[in-house]
């Protein structure tokens, strides 16, 4: 199964948009959207931490790779003066991203359907590139990082908030939110990523292991999801990922607990 099918096949965008419109006639807030547009471990809190990194960098032209339903893009657009472009290989995600933005008061930003392994931009087009749980789906990490280096300015920033392979990758449980089976998941280890970053012309400035926080967040979400089963239907990641989401959440907890995966935030600078 292609990766865009993994994200598209169960997407209920029409009913989701109707539900958002009915529930929030004045427009949903970033927090109200978070269950369906912050599709990474750590949710909106993790995106807030990424924004703190952006405040230190103060970029002017940002590219987000694998922008999904657009949660981080809307946060950046509403809180920073930078221009931002999103790209995603899943066309229906891009359509949903733009449709959600139209429900809010946040100005629209361009989103382009393309593959991160072949970026449709000229050299030195951006001063910052962000990945949030999207490198994990990309088969050729080296090529993708080389493309990032090409379209980034010299001294431009690369921010990664990613799931990496843990010390016990053989203990991996599927499905997970980014893959129904191993052929869709392209996790690499911290050491392998470090080497690829260096080989692609990036200097690592900062690396933080966010796994413990990620696990606690996922455990809190699981508690909330149990409570919500007894209430009126809420917006939920299952409207994007389908009923398999009920297995994906527990599998993320198992994979973090058993050391199959880790969650990291890395900040790098493009050299030369
Ligand atoms: C786990 S989702 C994360 C979405 C979003 N960053 C978030 O945190 O909510 C991974 C995203 O990467 C996109 N993606 C996967 N492979 C890609 C590729 N080769 N090029 C561009 N986008 C890709 C998927 O379509 C999906 O939107």
Domain segments of the chain: what residues?
A: 3-270
- What is the reported pLDDT for 125? 98
With a 6 Å cutoff on the Cβ, whether 71 touches ligand 1 is yes
Burial of 193 (0-12, 13-18, 19+ CB in 10 A): buried
**115 CA: nearest ligand 1 atom:** 20
Distance of alpha carbon 6 from alpha carbon 185, whole angstroms: 11
Q: Is residue 233 predicted with pLDDT exceeding 80?
A: no
**Mean pLDDT value across residues 42-63:** 96
Who contacts 137 (Cβ-Cβ below 8 Å, separation ≥6)? Answer: 3, 66, 178, 179, 184, 185, 186
Taking CA atoms only, the protein residue closest to ligand 1 atom 10 is 134
Q: What is the arithmetic mean of pLDDT over 230-247?
A: 88
- 227, pLDDT greater than 90: no
Please give the Cα distance from 128 to 187 (Å, whole number): 23
CA of 161 relative to ligand 1 center, distance in Å:
12
Q: Which of 88, 219, 59 is nearest to 155 (CA)?
A: 59
- For residue 229, pLDDT over 70 is answered with no
Sign of CA dihedral 136, 137, 142, 146: negative
Give me the mean pLDDT over the 85-107 stretch: 97
Task: Give the model's pLDDT for residue 225.
Answer: 82
Q: Which numbered atom of ligand 1 lies nearest the CA of 90?
A: 25
Residue 232 has pLDDT above 70, yes or no: no
Distant-in-sequence, close-in-space partners of 101: CB < 8 Å, separation ≥ 6: 70, 74, 108, 109
pLDDT of residue 110: 98
Is it the case that residue 192 has pLDDT exceeding 80? yes
The residues near 5 (Cβ < 8 Å, ≥ 6 apart) are: none
116 lines ligand 1 (CB under 6 A): yes
| Percentage of the chain lying above the pLDDT 90 cut | 94
Rg value, the chain, Cα: 18
* Whole-angstrom distance, CA of residue 162 vs CA of residue 267: 11
Residues 6+ apart with CB under 8 A from 257: 215
Atom of ligand 1 nearest to the CA of 64: 6
Do residues 244 and 6 touch, judged by C-beta distance below 8 A? no
68 lines ligand 1 (CB under 6 A): yes
Q: Band the pLDDT of 272: cuts 50, 70, 90.
A: confident
The answer to whether residue 230 scores a pLDDT higher than 70 is no
Ligand 1 mean position, distance from CA 231 (Å):
31
Residues 99-120 have a mean pLDDT of 97
Ligand 1 pocket, residue 75 CB under 6 Å: no
CB of 138 closer than 6 angstroms to any ligand 1 atom: yes
Q: Any idea what DSSP says for residue 237?
A: T
Mean pLDDT of the chain: 96
Q: What percent of the chain has pLDDT over 70?
A: 98
In angstroms, what CA-CA distances link 107 with 80, 102, 181? 12, 8, 37
Could you give the 3-state DSSP secondary structure of residue 48? helix
Which pLDDT score, from 0 to 100, does residue 41 have?
A: 97
Is the Cβ atom of 217 under 6 angstroms away from ligand 1? no
| Residue from 7, 41, 88, 112 to probe ligand 1 pocket by mutation (most atoms less than 8 Å from CB) | 88
Q: What is the CATH number of domain 3-270?
A: 3.40.50.150
Q: Contact, 66 vs 131, CB < 8 A?
A: yes
Structure tokens at 77: 């657009």
134 within ligand 1 shell (Cβ under 6 A): yes
Determine if the pTM surpasses 0.95.
yes
- State the DSSP H helix or E strand holding residue 73, giving kind and residue range, or none if neither: helix 71-79
């Amino acid at each position: 199964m292609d990766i865009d099918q993994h994200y598209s096949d169960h997407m209920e965008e029409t009913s989701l948009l109707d539900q958002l419109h009915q529930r929030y006639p004045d427009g949903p807030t970033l927090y109200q959207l978070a269950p369906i547009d912050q599709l990474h471990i750590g949710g909106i809190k993790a995106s807030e931490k990424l924004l703190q990194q952006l405040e230190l960098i103060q970029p002017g032209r940002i590219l987000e790779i694998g922008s999904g339903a657009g949660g981080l893009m809307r946060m950046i657009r509403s809180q920073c003066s930078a221009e931002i472009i999103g790209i995603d290989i899943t066309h229906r995600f891009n359509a949903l991203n733009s449709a959600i933005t139209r429900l809010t008061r946040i100005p629209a930003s361009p989103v382009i359907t393309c593959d991160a392994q072949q970026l449709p931009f000229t050299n030195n087009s951006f001063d910052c590139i962000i990945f949030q749980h999207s490198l994990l789906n990309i088969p050729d990490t080296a090529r993708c990082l080389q493309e990032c280096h090409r379209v980034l300015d010299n001294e431009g920033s690369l921010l990664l908030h990613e799931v990496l392979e843990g010390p016990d990758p053989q203990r991996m449980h599927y499905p997970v939110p980014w893959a129904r089976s191993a052929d869709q998941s392209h996790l690499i280890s911290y050491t392998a990523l470090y080497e690829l970053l260096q080989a692609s012309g990036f200097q690592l400035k900062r690396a933080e292991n966010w796994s413990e926080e990620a696990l606690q967040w996922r455990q809190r979400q699981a508690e909330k999801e149990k409570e919500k089963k007894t209430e009126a239907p809420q917006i939920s990641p299952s409207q994007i990922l389908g009923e398999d989401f009920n297995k994906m959440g527990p599998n993320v907890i198992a994979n973090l607990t058993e050391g199959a995966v880790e969650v990291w935030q890395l900040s790098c600078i493009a050299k030369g």
